[in-house]
Amino acid sequence: MALIRSPPDIRAADPTKSLTAALLTFEDTLTNKQKQQYHASTVKPDAASVIAFVAEIDAKNNSTSRRCVAPRLCTFLEATQQFSSVLDTFVSSNPTLAALIWGGVKMAILTASNVASYFDKVTSMIMAIGKSCPTYQEFGQLYPGCVELQRALCDYYAAIVKLCIKIIGVSRRTPVTHTLTAIFVPFESEFKSELNNIDQIAKDIQFQISLASKLALEETRKLLEHERQDNTAFRQLTSKFQKKTEKEHAEAKQLRTNQMKREAAKLKSRIRKNLSSIDHITPWKQAIRQRVPSTAEWLQQEFLFHQWKDDLDTATLWCSGTMGVGKTVLMANVVAQLHASRKDDDIISYYFCRADNALTLSARSILGSLARQILDTQIENAEHDSLRVLDKDSRDLDVTDVIDFLLSHLQVGKTYYLVLDGLDECDRAEIQMVARSLAQLCDKRVSDFKIICAGRPELEKELWRVLTPKYKIQVTERKVESDMDLYIATILSRCLEEEQLKLGDPKLIMVIVQALREGSKGMFLWTRLFIEELCEQNSDDDILKALKDLPRGLSEIFNRKLRRIRDRTAAKEALKILQFCGVAKRSLTVMEYQEALSLFPGQKSLDRGRLLNDIFRAVSDCCGLIFVEEEENTVHYVHQSVGQHLFTNRHPHSPEFDMAKVDQHLGFLCMTYLNFTDFKRQLTKVKAGSSVPIRPVQLGTLPVYHSSSFTKRMAQKLLSHSPGLQHLSGAELAKRAQEALGDMESSRLEREIQKRDFQFFNYAWTYWINHVTDLDPETENMMWRLFCQCVEGNNILAYRPWESKQLDHREKSNIPKAVQWLVANGNYSLLLYYAMHHSHILTENVKREILRNSTIHKRYRFTKLIIQQTNTSSETLKHGLLYAAREGCNISVMSLLQAAVYVNDQVCGQSALQAAAEGGHVEVVEMLLAAKADVNAPGAGYSGRTALQAAAEGGHVEVVERLLAAKADVNAPASYGGRTALQAAAEGGHVKIVEQLLAAKADVNASAANDRGRTALQAAAEGGHVKVVEMLLAAKADINAPPASYGGGQTALQAAAEGGHVKVVERLLAAKADVNAPAASYDGRTALQAAAEGGHVKVVGMLLAAKADVNASAAGYNGQTALQAAAEGGHIKIVEQLLAAKADVNVPAANDRGRTALQAAAEGGHVKIVEQLLAAKADVNAPAASYGGQTALQAAAEGGHVEVVRMLLAAKADVNAPAAGYDGRTALQAAAEG
């Protein structure tokens, strides 16, 4: 791919001119071989291209580097990819530019990677550039129609191309020249002019973005004016005004085009944000940076891994290992390798949970992020109407909604890879929601899902409760042995090279290596931390002593480091960092820690004399338990196990690590900080009346740095770009400057100021409320008063999230926003504040909302407070008992029973005992039974359950045992759409409960409920529970019991066949199940039809061998024969089996949207099946079903299946066959519409 040189008289309006010229110069500097490589690699990148390229670089450098430095490039490459994705929409843009800019960047980076020491500096430089790169989030909604912004963006990447030229030029130097240059010309100086140019253009882009924002508003105003005039009758249509009118129409058309583009960009951003605003890339970058080159590759060589990857069906792989064995790095490399070997139909998503960011640990965040990644290309390619639908459908989704949304947009023929790590860090309830959602994805046969998940062994029970992994690999000491040897050698070499490890006797290194190999037990974290311990030793004898006393496991090495920390110079500050790191709501930067460590409760202003002069010494004195992330400059535990050890494993060495106390103390410091007089001085000025809006951070910083001088600098900048402002007075100019700069420039100003002062403000302002969730006004009087001030906003700067203007479509208009927020976030302090100071807002409806939705670990506090309110009604407390029983909140249940709530009252058709039994809460069940709860209260309404039925359905063995002991009726009838206890247990495959119920004389042949009912045997067969089926048959279950009348009723054999449960089908056939039992009248299938529809080849073979009727009639008005079902699903082998068994190839289509076998295969584009059916004399012109039907040719044309259309036309298909009477299309109409 080459760039065509433009003629010299190219229009000045072309914003890509500088970029085009830079790319031409770039190509001219390449050697012939490099030009060939350049043209071969110039393809337009997508979002997945970034990780694929990073993986390529690291693979290339495996043998020459001791670090994986390529991830440093990610932020810059992401920005470049985003720019490439919109470049071809710029005015006069050449369609090859996007590919060429990406190819040029790749060429420069690959060339630089040939020189290891040089490449390390280049990646650091590019990482720094990436921090200030313009992102799509900044310009995406503004660039359409704004030529100056487009020009500035092109100028920026032209400067990047020039930097690439310089990088390649320097790379060509000989090793000797590299060495001499490094001595006499520092790296930073050599690239200074290029970097200064890039920085200057980046600033100009920010200015253009602020102007583009104003331009967009002005264009919107003009467009509204045009439309107003178009819709009025007073316009004069004379020749005098004709030219003006044409000009106005052209202008309006362009304005509409620009607005549509901006609207599309806005919708795309909003849809993505609706799904997830979590940064999923940074955790992957942090993980892959820890990888030592050539390690973490063994998993891809495992036979089971290849089986999982090559499986023709949906498959799950569970990778388990103990703490510290490198699972996260292993999964990070899996992500990289999947991208590197990605095929066109592969879609890769991943998620790494972060223990230091609570927002990332919810099921909603995890699944929303995966959905966003999976659907990202579809969102990007969607047109206006589709975008509006996506935007509407993606609003305010909960976990279930996210999965439904994702399933509704999956594409046939795609393979979806999901990589998950760190679910161990999530709460049990969140893990279970993720597990259920993964099971739901795997249950759908629209597309293939390949799910790989890594975690500690104890996670397996929770994660795989509802979904059994098809493949399992354990990370053992033996499997990582080779990696460990390489890891030890690399880290020790690095420590020797950087003079962290100093030896008197060189031979001692071999003793160290042997000790590390023997002591590591496969734990990379242990190895890393112990090597750091060895680096602290002062002599060879000290090293030998340390080697003779190897720490046993991570806990011991953590304790040793804590003892060392206490002896350090900055021990006090280091311990504070370790404390705050465990409770911070997001990772704090080093500079934020510098201020936070200087704070004390009651402080009146920021005392700069208390700031540590060397914050990095305090970081260093944490003895390796934390690290500073090089790109974000944030502080993290070296591993999440550090925080778990400090705060969970209580021991005499760490009395300071009480999580609740540390969390509350940090909140106190946040409120203290917000109450500083530094901020109050400016707040007073604003309240006195200022017409110029000032952002919160500016309130504190402007008094120190003199707002007048800042306004002067900003005004000068504006004057240089817009001479029209020069006549304004100082005051008016300041106001207009603020307006022109807008939010974007203010944000940049905020960042600049924060570099110099008040670093902790942003964190304190945002998260103070999240730290003070459980205050006691009596024992914490000073903190409580400050909390009240922050809530009320009296002369104190504090963010109150419930006052946020962000729209939430799930908001309940009858519930105050503050109450909705405190319930969702479990903030008892805020509820107590309102109870004490504004109790009128706590209406009965509000109280019920609190009792229903308050978080489990805080519910008892919320419940007690509501009970204490003198005006709380008995009806509200009754609701509270049900909600507390449902969630298993023992203390809340006890409190409500003590408040004399009647135990047998029902709320929404359910008693407290039924709710507790459903949730499996044994202790609550015991309490309610002791309070005389009715053990046999009937289930109310549709699908109601007695307590025993509910417990049996949930598989709660202990609860079932306790209810039977309390004389629960084992044969209580099922409600409409419900299950008896035995049916419910059989459906869930709960073997022990089935045993309990059969021993208690449960009726094995109780009839199925009319709507969606199942007998016990049908339910067990449907779930594929072989052991339960055996038990029920032994108990004389009726193998041929008729199916339920409605809701897809099935015989036992039909149910097993539909699920493809080979062993169950085999057992039922052996027990004389009727292979030809008719399908249920509504939406039913015979056993053979069900197996054919599901694509279960073995089951079809077994049923045919048992004399199943291959031509059994389809049920009802929308059923299918076995052949029609197999053809529709594209199941070639089953079509062959059925045709060999004399299936009628020309059975007419069912009336309601039915298809003949040929029509069904044509609709799905299944070429080989169409070929088979035509060979079997299928009627190519069989009439379409009367309601929503299609002929074979119409179906293929609508789907755009060109090869099928050719085959049908060759077989004399009628191209003019009439459309079906309802919702039909002719072939031509169908093709045009598709």
DSSP letters for 328-371: HHHHHHHHHHHHHT--TTEEEEEEE--TT-GGGGSHHHHHHHHH
Question: 725 falls in which pLDDT band (50, 70, 90)?
Answer: very low
For the entire predicted model, the pTM comes to 0.79
What is the phi-psi region of residue 1072: left when phi exceeds 0, alpha when psi lies from -120 to 50, beta otherwise?
A: left
CATH, domain range 568-655:
1.10.10.10
pLDDT of res. 461? 84
Q: Is the pLDDT of residue 88 over 80?
A: no
**Structure confidence at residue 717 (pLDDT):** 52
pLDDT tier at 10, thresholds 50, 70, 90: very low
- 15 vs 1186, which has greater pLDDT? 15
Handedness of CA 722, 723, 724, 729 (dihedral sign): positive
Contact 1158, 1196 (CB under 8 A): no
pLDDT category of residue 227 using cuts at 50, 70 and 90: low
Is the pLDDT at 312 greater than 90? The verdict is no
pLDDT in tens, 727-737: 555 445 445 54
Confirm or reject CATH 3.40.50.300 for domain 275-475, answering yes or no. yes
**Regarding predicted confidence, which is higher, 962 or 245?**
962
The pLDDT score that the predictor gives to residue 1086 is 93
Give the homologous superfamily in CATH for domain 1146-1234. Ankyrin repeat-containing domain (1.25.40.20)
Using CA atoms, how far residue 479 sits from 325, 521, 1062, in Å, is: 10, 11, 35
Q: Is the pLDDT of residue 208 over 90?
A: no
Structure tokens at 6: 């433009």
Lowest-confidence region among 39-53, 124-138, 662-676? 39-53
Mean pLDDT of 569-580: 94
| % the chain with pLDDT above 90 | 56
pLDDT recorded at residue 860: 87
Distance CA 1190, CA 1183 (A): 8
Lowest mean pLDDT across 275-279, 554-558, 1153-1157 = 1153-1157
Instruction: Give, as one character, the DSSP assignment of residue 294.
Output: T
pLDDT at residue 1103, as a whole number: 97
CA angle 605, 611, 616 (to 5 degrees): 150
Measuring CA to CA, which residue among 908, 913, 924, 923 is closest to residue 949?
913
Q: Tell me, what DSSP letter sits at residue 1042? A: P
Q: How far is CA 1096 from CA 217, 469, 471, 1133, in A?
A: 59, 20, 20, 10
As a whole number, mean pLDDT of residues 498-502 equals: 91
Higher pLDDT, 157 or 739: 157
* 443-447, 536-540, 1188-1192: least confident range: 443-447
Q: How far apart are CA 676 and CA 742, in angstroms?
A: 27
* pLDDT, tens digit, 9 for 90 and up, residues 1067-1108: 999 999 999 998 877 778 899 999 999 899 999 999 999 999
High-pLDDT (> 70) share of the chain, %: 85
Q: Buried (b) or exposed (e) across 56-75, using 16+ Cβ within 10 A?
A: bbbbebeeebbbbbbbbbbb
- The strand pairing partners of 416, in sequence order, are 347, 449
Confidence at residue 715, expressed as pLDDT on a 0 to 100 scale: 47
- The domain segmentation of the chain, as residue ranges, is 17-211, 275-475, 480-550, 568-655, 1146-1234
111, pLDDT greater than 50: yes
Write out pLDDT tens, residues 835-857.
Answer: 999 999 999 999 998 898 877 66
Amino acid 691: pLDDT: 37
879-896 mean pLDDT: 93
Phi-psi region of 1101 (alpha: psi -120 to 50; beta: other; left: phi over 0): alpha
Range among 67-81, 186-200, 255-269, 505-519 with highest mean pLDDT value: 505-519
Kindly report, residue by residue over 656-709, the tens digit of the pLDDT.
899 999 999 999 999 999 999 888 755 554 444 443 333 443 333 333 333 344
pLDDT tens track for 1128-1148 = 999 999 999 999 999 999 998
Burial class (CB within 10 angstroms; exposed 0-12, middle 13-18, buried 19+) of 271: buried
CA 932/CA 909 separation, integer angstroms: 19
Is the model's pLDDT at 747 over the cut of 60?
no
- pLDDT exceeds cutoff 80 at 468: yes
Chain centroid to CA 1189: how far?
A: 40
- In the three-class reduction of DSSP (H, G, I as helix; E, B as strand; rest coil), residue 1213 is classed as coil
pLDDT of residue 695: 40
Mean pLDDT of the chain: 85
| pLDDT on residue 1229 | 74
Which parts of 9-48 fold into alpha helices (H)? 17-28, 32-40
Q: Structure tokens of 416?
A: 């979806």
Weakest-pLDDT range from 165-174, 644-653, 655-664, 1022-1031: 644-653
DSSP 500: S
**Model pLDDT, residue 187:** 75
Instruction: Pull the structure tokens for residue 288.
Output: 């892959």
**Residue 348 and residue 280: Cα distance in Å, rounded?**
13
Is residue 81 predicted with pLDDT exceeding 50? Answer: yes
Asked whether the predicted pLDDT for residue 1116 surpasses 70, the reply is no
d(CA 304, CA 473): 7
User: Strands 626-628 and 635-637: what pairing?
Assistant: antiparallel
Q: Model confidence at 635, in pLDDT bands (50, 70, 90)? A: very high
Q: Which of 104-118, 234-248, 515-529 has the highest mean pLDDT?
A: 515-529
Question: Does the pLDDT value for residue 832 go beyond 80?
Answer: yes
Residue 167 carries which side chain, given as an amino acid letter? I
What was the pLDDT predicted at 803?
87
Specify the amino acid at residue 156: Y
User: 652 pLDDT band (50/70/90 cuts)?
Assistant: low
Q: How many CB atoms lie within 10 A of CB 457?
A: 12
CB hemisphere CA count around 530 (13 angstroms): 32
Mean pLDDT value across residues 372-401? 91
Spatial CB neighbours of 899, under 8 Å, sequence gap ≥ 6: 867, 877
